[in-house]
Amino acid sequence: MDLILKNGTCVTPGGIDVLDIGVRNGHIAALGAVDAAAAPEVIDCRGLHVLPGVIDTQVHFREPGLEHKEDLATGTAAAAMGGVTAVFEMPNTKPATTTTEALADKCRRAKGRVWVDVAFFVGAAADNVADLPELERLPGCSGVKLFMGSSTGDLLVADDATIARVLASGSRRVAVHAEDERRLNERFTIVEGGADPAMHPEWRDVETALAATRRLLALARGVKRRVHVLHVTTAEELPLLARNRDLATMEVTPQHLTLAAPECYERLDTYAQMNPPIRDARHREALWAAVADGLVDCIGSDHAPHTREEKNRPYPASPSGMPGVQTLVPVMLNHVAEGRLSLERFVDLTSAGPARIFGIAGAGRIALGYPASLTVVDLKHRQMITNLGMVSRCGWTPFDGLTVTGWPVMTVIRGRVVMREGTLLGDPAGEAVRFLECL
Ligand code: DOR
């Protein structure tokens, strides 16, 4: 063995048990009682919980083109610090990731600079539809991302005919930002020229999300394509998604489960502005019910850093988005501590779920032969989340000042400890995530 994690309380498919994990060549080679003499490095995990590595399937790391907000090194450092072992990065960079060259460029930039494993989405655009079947199968690609409504950047496929063509081109699951562009444009007058950021969920209202999700599901059904609806925010979309479980999976974000209007806008102003918006407590409670009844498939942070200078612009000139990759684990563990979800469900949403949705090769469980990518957490540790503690280049978090119970204390990626007790260790040697359909 190369490494042994001794006496951790491990969340495995068979239950929660105190086990030793023996690691050889980056994989779990023994599980149970492992002789400490069998490896040069033994880490005592007594009192800690060992989880299959947390995978954040929605982050925006801004490289190339917007590195003043974040880059692949700073974004993945934030991930490792937050107990996240792999990320899927979004294509609304500059240039947008819509071509083979742009994807290859991201993969090149990642080499030797990323702290966690990565995959990149390619963006669907009117002019690359024919290339999507080939693009989605390239190494390092997590699939196609479709923006039905405009958000940060200019990626957009708004009309039914082109959306249907995108959905008919390729076979992997398509990740979708579901807001209805026509309704967004019609309603922009509500905030145009200046408004209170609390108007954000009025402009981008329930019907804006619902109409897009309804259209998406009908179009996906027409061509029998699997889709993944990102950051679902409304109570009204949930029954629709529940009727389409054969085709559609869904994500919610920690911020939509934690913050609520109007309080978040009063306290955070434009720093609470994101797309789709944080809505009132009725929606937040409906999302929690969807977590409880198994409708939600995964938690993604939608880490979307912008500088303070940008966020300080008057609404609606202020950009939408908030960082979150470093706070996903502590914020959700705090919900575990407060009894809103079990640790098993946390693992399902952050590791097994992503593996199932996207067909990740060898991820999502602690089991013999699986890669030893692990998130070690201290469920009793109380700590305040602060802006100062954030390693994202943007330097702020909407959770500044929140004291949580539950904290990631170690991030292990394929047998290498890259973060221990708040310190990055070793080198940034993250690799491309591999997918079953593209082996
Ligand atoms: O609020 C958001 N910000 N939503 C998105 O869909 C994009 C993201 C960003 O890239 O800033």
Spatial contact of 179 and 204, defined as CB atoms under 8 Å apart: yes
Q: 260-277 as b/e, with b when 16 or more CB fall inside 10 Å?
A: bbeebbeebbbbbbbbbb
Q: Name the residue range of residue 169's domain.
A: 53-358
- Which pair of tokens denotes residue 239? 């029954």
Q: Residue 340 and residue 335: Cα distance in Å, rounded?
A: 5
Q: Residue 329 and residue 294: Cα distance in Å, rounded?
A: 19
Question: How far apart are the CA of 13 and the centre of ligand 1, in A?
Answer: 34
**Percent composition of the chain: helix, strand, coil (DSSP 3-state, to 5):** 30, 25, 45
CA distances from 60 to 17, 130, 298, 350 (A): 36, 25, 17, 17
Q: Is the CB of 255 under 6 A from ligand 1?
A: no
Options 302, 348, 378, 427, the catalytic residue: 302
> How many CB atoms neighbour CB 13 within 10 A?
12
CATH number of the domain that 169 lies in? 3.20.20.140
- Residue 45 falls inside a structural domain: no
Q: Ligand 1 atom closest to Cα of 306?
A: 11
Q: Is 322 helix (H, G, I), strand (E, B) or coil?
A: strand
- Residue 3 falls inside a structural domain: no
* Residue 361 per-residue DSSP state: T
The proportion of the chain whose per-residue pLDDT surpasses 90, expressed as a percent, equals 99
- Write down the pLDDT at residue 152: 86
Question: How far apart are the CA of 303 and the centre of ligand 1, in A?
Answer: 8
CA distances from 354 to 175, 256, 342, 351, 360 (A): 12, 18, 17, 5, 8
User: How many domains are contained in the chain?
Assistant: 1
Residue 400 bears catalytic tag: no
- Residue 28 falls inside a structural domain: no
Question: How far apart are the CA of 178 and the centre of ligand 1, in A?
Answer: 12
Spatial contact of 330 and 402, defined as CB atoms under 8 Å apart: no
φ, ψ of residue 258 in degrees (nearest 5): -115, -45
- Write down the pLDDT at residue 279: 98
Read out DSSP for 112-133?
TT-SSEEEEEEEP-TTSGGGHH
Mean of pLDDT over the chain:
98
- Which pair of tokens denotes residue 162? 């082109």
* pTM above threshold 0.95: yes
CA-nearest residue, atom 2 of ligand 1: 321
Q: Is 439 exposed, middle or buried (0-12, 13-18, 19+ CB in 10 A)?
A: exposed
Question: How far apart are the CA of 152 and the centre of ligand 1, in A?
Answer: 5
Is the pLDDT at 176 greater than 90, yes or no? yes
- Residue 24 falls inside a structural domain: no
DSSP bridge partners of 289:
none
- In 2-90, beta strands by DSSP E: 3-12, 15-24, 27-32, 41-44, 49-52, 54-59, 84-89
Q: Ligand 1 atom closest to Cα of 62?
A: 10
- Write down the pLDDT at residue 218: 98
Is the pLDDT at 139 greater than 90, yes or no? yes
Give per-residue pLDDT as tens, 240-299: 999 999 999 999 999 999 999 999 999 999 999 999 999 999 999 999 999 999 999 999
Q: Is the CB of 320 under 6 A from ligand 1?
A: yes
- Residue 1 falls inside a structural domain: no
Give per-residue pLDDT as tens, 44-91: 999 999 999 999 999 999 999 999 999 999 999 999 999 999 999 999
Question: How far apart are the CA of 49 and the centre of ligand 1, in A?
Answer: 32
- Residue 305 falls inside a structural domain: yes
CA distances from 199 to 274, 275, 279 (A): 12, 13, 10
Q: Residue 209 and residue 168: Cα distance in Å, rounded?
A: 22
- Residue 48 falls inside a structural domain: no
User: 27-32 and 15-24 as β-strands: parallel, antiparallel, unpaired?
Assistant: antiparallel
Q: Is 340 exposed, middle or buried (0-12, 13-18, 19+ CB in 10 A)?
A: middle
Q: Is the CB of 152 under 6 A from ligand 1?
A: yes
Place of tokens 């944080």: 278
58, 92, 310: residue to mutate for ligand 1 pocket, most atoms within 8 A of CB: 92
Go through the chain and tell me how many residues it has.
Answer: 439
Sign of CA dihedral 338, 342, 347, 352: negative
Q: Is the CB of 151 under 6 A from ligand 1?
A: yes
- Residue 384 falls inside a structural domain: no
Selected residue with higher pLDDT from 117 and 150: 117
CA distances from 14 to 366, 376, 411 (A): 10, 18, 22
Q: Is the CB of 270 under 6 A from ligand 1?
A: no
pLDDT-derived band of residue 23, with 50, 70 and 90 as boundaries?
A: very high
CA-nearest residue, atom 10 of ligand 1: 152
- Write down the pLDDT at residue 374: 98
- Write down the pLDDT at residue 109: 98
